[in-house]
């Protein structure tokens, strides 16, 4: 889900180039939110006490659950906040109010920065495109990056050698993929299960 009001625009895209970032590119997505705007969780998860550093200012890091293959899930930061709502260690639902936006940390004006990492700590270059989480709806499967869908599909192929012979895959192939699980099945079919 969008982490702010629907009418707030994207002001800086994922991987936009710029000299203001140590990596030379933007590690998340920015929304133009004025001071005091509500900030919402993009997906179900747990508010954590984790910090990714002072550049993010007042920020929540949310543990957004596990991947379908059991690996630790995605962690998202909601940065430059004015104040946080909620307590570390408690569960939140997609769309739940978690704070109010502002301009704290390394920030040139009020906005909301969201960023996804596949582990609890900030690791240079490992950030993922937040768009699947922004686009997700409450009735969707867990959002996943394209990289992880590929990886999980390959794990499925390794463990279920005859997956593509099953009727499930045929059914999935008849419709355009809509959710993570159907996309995984589609890729399992496309990449083949033998070899």
Q: Please report whether residue 8 would count as binding Zn ion according to CB under 5 A.
A: no
Please, what is the minimum distance in Å from the beta carbon of residue 195 to Zn ion? 42
* Residue in the structure block whose two tokens are 């596990």: 66
Q: Which is nearer to Zn ion, 30 or 148 (CB)?
A: 30
Written as six digits, the tokens of 144 are 């996943």
* H/E run at residue 97: strand 97-101
CB crowding 64-77: b at 16 or more within 10 Å, else e: beebbeeeebbbbb
Q: Which of 4, 8, 14, 30 binds Zn ion (CB under 5 A)?
A: 30
Of residues 167, 185, 166, the one with CA closest to residue 176: 185
What is the rounded CA–CA span in Å between residue 110 and residue 104? 8
Q: What are phi and psi of 183, to 5 degrees?
A: -65, -35
Smallest distance, Zn ion to C-beta of residue 26, A: 6
Residue 180, judged by CB atoms within 10 A of its CB (0-12, 13-18, 19+), counts as buried
Q: How far is the CB of 108 from Zn ion (least distance, A)?
A: 10
Report which residue's Cβ sits closest to Zn ion.
113
Stretch in the footprint of Zn ion (CB under 5 A) among 29-37, 45-53, 144-152, 170-178 = 29-37
Show the binding pattern over residues 102-131: x = contacts Zn ion (CB under 5 A), - = does not: -----------x------------------
Nearer to Zn ion, 31 or 163 (CB): 31
The DSSP 8-state label assigned to residue 42 in this structure reads S
Residues near Zn ion, by CB under 5 A: 30, 113
């Amino acid at each position: 889900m969008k982490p702010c009001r629907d009418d707030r625009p994207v002001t800086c895209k994922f991987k936009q180039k710029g000299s203001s970032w140590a990596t030379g590119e933007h590690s998340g997505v920015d929304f133009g939110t004025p001071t005091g705007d509500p900030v919402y969780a993009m997906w179900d998860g747990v508010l954590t006490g984790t910090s990714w550093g002072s550049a993010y200012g007042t920020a929540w890091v949310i543990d957004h659950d596990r991947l379908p293959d059991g690996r630790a899930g995605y962690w998202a930061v909601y940065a430059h906040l004015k104040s946080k709502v909620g307590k570390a260690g408690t569960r939140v639902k997609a769309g739940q109010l978690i704070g109010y936006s502002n301009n704290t940390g390394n920030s040139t004006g009020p906005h909301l920065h969201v960023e996804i990492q596949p582990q609890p700590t900030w690791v240079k270059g490992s950030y993922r495109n937040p768009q699947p989480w922004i686009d997700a709806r409450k009735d969707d499967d867990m959002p996943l990056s394209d990289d992880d869908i590929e990886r999980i599909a390959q794990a499925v192929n390794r463990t279920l050698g005859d997956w593509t012979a099953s009727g499930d895959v045929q059914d999935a192939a008849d419709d355009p993929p809509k959710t993570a699980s159907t996309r995984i099945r589609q890729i399992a079919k496309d990449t083949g299960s033998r070899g």
